[in-house]
């Protein structure tokens, strides 16, 4: 095999891994949502779907859902714009899937004398790419609302657009603080930067400089705006399925399922972003490229594949915890009214993010740092 | 919102922003309090599920769900469930076809055809005794009206759904075959399939 082919194959590993992880997380989230909400509410949750009497804690329900969605009537309203109507769910899912591409899930892995960045796409402007993908996702909703030839759907699409605009400004502005602290738009660099010790002259090498410690305000702002951009409760004004009716009223079958899937994918992306920017990304505390270096002096040397494996596991664990937290929020808070969501976005999140940028800049440029 | 509408609300109306204190208006603290509550439920229930599944605890319950029909709530002994006709020693119905229950029934769901009893000491016996459960309102008047204590509603059977109305008519033989509920309230007889129900 030529070395080019090997290069290509090795490059395909991170891409395949990202697709595998994101799609499976997205699919599993329907189960997580059912079970976690049930446990939070002293219930049991869906557990009846079975194959030959085997239930495995209701894990077959996503499968049953998929079968149901695929076999339902795929209805298109008579006056709908057919192309746009069919395109909308695909646009929605595509940007949800694509957004994860530049989120790093590990440091460099060395096999066969080559270095692989554990990141599907190595981009110098990784953060901007993810932001763009998250923002573009709303086009699917607007297309769905417009193409359905239904005024309720159109209003839902408009609410989605308004919510997304008020959220994404806060997302972008809150991330700027992180970018300033770690000095890069490359998410791999930001993840590496979070392995540095926090204030070594004060704490020694005990505390790693994770984003949540260097940018606590940005963390809260980003998480709030991020939840808004997933358009799930408490920011589900675009959908409001129980009473105000959203952009997907006219959708049925798997197209409807794809909108639900897009929501879950966006939840995974927001969890991944939060992990990469604020929870140290793939960093394991005290794990350096050569192995564990503990602040009390002990060292445990590890080979490169073991280090990379630990980092990937750490990343997945952090993402899972973040997803758990997002689910906890989703099943605890009631929905914001439309105007409340707007007010929160424009009058609270946005000014506070600007304030955060100012404070960060002042601290970074402060004379005592020199 | 017009001022008159505001005064109609109770003084402690939490929807009114000006009556929220600063901490509540800041929202984040209250959100964390709420999250702590739901997270506490989550972890306590997860711990109980773990005790039950992993450590085989018999008493730990992680959910209040009763998984009907695998699990059933115990029924009250006073529950009015599916009727049954009480039998004599020889298995014949205790009913003497006096028509009291048919007369008192507010839903007109009982249909009795009387006939002579071979024993001269017993005046009559029902030739037919049909109850249309599609009409029955489970008031229990038939049980109260019966002078012979021949009809009771103590079988503990509540599940007798059918695909058509005809199948809701239970005849004498079906009703005679039923047993009273077990002491804990569960049904002792299987759910009867009346003769009128055609195989589908």
Tokens describing residue A267: 């939840």
Residue A171 C-alpha, separation from nearest chain B C-alpha, in angstroms: 18
User: Residues A33-75: pLDDT tens digits?
Assistant: 999 999 999 999 888 888 888 888 889 999 999 999 999 998 8
Vertex A261 angle, CA A256 and A267, to 5°: 140
pLDDT for position A195: 87
The Cα A345–Cα A174 span in angstroms is 12
In whole angstroms, give the CA distance from residue A30 to residue A267: 11
Neighbours of A116 (CB within 10 A): 18
- A326, closest residue in chain B (CA to CA): B35
Q: What are phi and psi of B129, to 5 degrees?
A: -145, 95
pLDDT beneath 50, residues of chain B: 1-10, 200
Three-state DSSP at A108 gives: strand
Q: Residue range A9-14: average pLDDT?
A: 85
Taking a C-beta distance cutoff of 8 angstroms, is the pair B176, B199 a contact?
no
If pLDDT is split at 50, 70 and 90, which confidence band does A3 have?
confident
Summarize pLDDT for B48-68 with one digit per residue, the tens: 999 988 888 888 888 888 888
Contact B178, B84 (CB under 8 A): yes
pTM of the model: 0.85
Residue carrying the six token digits 């998929």: A66
Min Cα distance B44 → chain A (Å) is 9
Please list every residue in chain B whose beta carbon sits closer than 8 Å to the beta carbon of residue A331: 38
Under 8 Å CB pairs connecting chains A and B tally to 43
Instruction: Supply the Cα-derived Rg of chain A in whole angstroms.
Output: 22
Residues in chain B within 8 Å Cβ distance of A38: 63
Which pLDDT value is given to residue B7? 46
Q: pLDDT tens digits, residue range A330-368?
A: 999 998 888 888 999 999 999 999 999 999 999 988 876
DSSP A77-139: -TTS-HHHHHHHHHHHHHHHHHGGGG---SSEEEETTEEEESSSS--TTHHHHHHHHHHHHHH
Structural contact between residues A13 and A24, judged by C-beta atoms closer than 8 angstroms = no
Mean pLDDT, chain A, rounded, equals: 89
| Kind plus residue range of the DSSP H or E element containing A114 | strand A114-117
Assess: ipTM above 0.85.
yes
Express each pLDDT in A154-173 by its tens digit: 999 999 999 988 988 999 99
Distance, first Cα to last Cα, chain A: 54
Label the pairing between strands A287-288 and A114-117: unpaired
- Counting Cα atoms < 13 Å in the Cβ hemisphere of B53 gives 10
Beta carbons within 8 Å of A317's beta carbon, 6+ residues apart: none
Nearest by CB to residue A329, choosing from B35, B37, B64, is B35
Subunit contact B64:A38, Cβ cutoff 8 A: no
């Amino acid at each position: 095999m030529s070395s080019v082919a090997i290069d290509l194959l090795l490059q395909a590993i991170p891409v395949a891994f990202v697709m595998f992880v994101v799609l499976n997380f997205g699919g599993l989230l329907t189960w997580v949502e059912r079970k976690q909400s049930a446990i939070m509410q002293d219930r049991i949750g869906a557990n009846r779907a079975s194959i030959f009497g085997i239930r495995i804690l209701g894990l077959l329900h996503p499968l049953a859902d998929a079968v149901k969605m695929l076999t339902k009537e795929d209805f298109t309203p008579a006056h709908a714009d057919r192309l746009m109507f069919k395109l909308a769910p695909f646009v929605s899912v595509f940007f949800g899937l694509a957004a994860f591409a530049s989120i790093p899930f590990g440091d460099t892995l060395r096999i066969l004398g080559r270095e692989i960045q554990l990141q599907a796409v190595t981009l110098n402007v990784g953060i901007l790419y993810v932001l763009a993908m998250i923002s573009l996702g709303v086009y699917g909703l607007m297309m769905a609302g417009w193409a359905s030839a239904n005024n309720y759907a159109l209003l839902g699409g408009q609410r989605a657009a308004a919510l997304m605009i008020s959220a994404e400004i806060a997302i972008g502005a809150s991330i700027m603080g992180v970018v300033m602290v770690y000095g890069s738009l490359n998410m791999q660099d930001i993840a590496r930067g979070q392995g540095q010790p926090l204030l070594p002259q004060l704490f020694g090498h005990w505390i790693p400089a994770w984003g949540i410690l260097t940018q606590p305000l940005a963390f809260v702002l980003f998480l709030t705006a991020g939840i808004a951009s997933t358009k799930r409760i408490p920011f589900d004004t675009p959908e409001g399925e129980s009473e105000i009716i959203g952009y997907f009223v006219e959708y049925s079958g798997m197209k409807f399922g794809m909108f639900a899937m897009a929501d879950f994918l966006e939840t995974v992306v927001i969890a991944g972003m939060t992990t990469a920017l604020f929870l140290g990304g793939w960093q394991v505390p005290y794990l350096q490229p050569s192995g564990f270096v503990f602040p009390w002096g002990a060292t445990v040397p590890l080979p490169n594949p073991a280090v990379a494996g630990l980092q990937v596991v750490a990343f997945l664990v952090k993402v899972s915890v973040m997803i758990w937290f997002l689910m906890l929020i989703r099943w605890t808070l009631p929905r914001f009214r439309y105007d409340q969501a707007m007010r929160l976005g424009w009058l609270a999140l946005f000014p506070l993010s600007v304030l955060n940028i100012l404070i960060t800049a002042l601290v970074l440029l402060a004379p005592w740092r020199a | 919102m017009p001022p008159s509408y505001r005064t109609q609300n109770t003084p402690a109306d939490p929807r009114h922003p000006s009556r929220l204190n600063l901490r509540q208006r800041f929202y984040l603290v209250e959100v964390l309090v709420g999250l702590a509550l739901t997270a506490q439920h989550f972890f306590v229930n997860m711990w109980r599920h773990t005790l039950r599944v992993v450590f085989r605890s018999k008493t730990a319950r992680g959910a209040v769900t009763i998984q009907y029909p695998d699990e059933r709530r115990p029924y009250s002994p006073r529950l009015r469930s599916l009727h049954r006709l009480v039998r004599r020693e020889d298995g014949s119905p205790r009913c003497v076809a006096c028509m009291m229950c048919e007369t008192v029934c507010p839903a007109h769901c009982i249909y009795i055809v009387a006939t002579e009893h071979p024993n001269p000491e017993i005046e009559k016996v029902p030739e037919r005794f049909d109850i249309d459960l599609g009409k029955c309102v489970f008031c229990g008047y038939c049980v109260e009206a019966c002078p012979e204590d021949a009809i009771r509603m103590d079988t503990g059977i509540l599940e007798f759904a059918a695909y058509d109305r005809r199948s809701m008519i239970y005849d004498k033989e079906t009703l005679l075959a039923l047993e009273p509920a077990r002491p804990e309230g569960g049904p002792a007889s299987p759910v009867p399939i009346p003769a009128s129900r055609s195989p589908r």
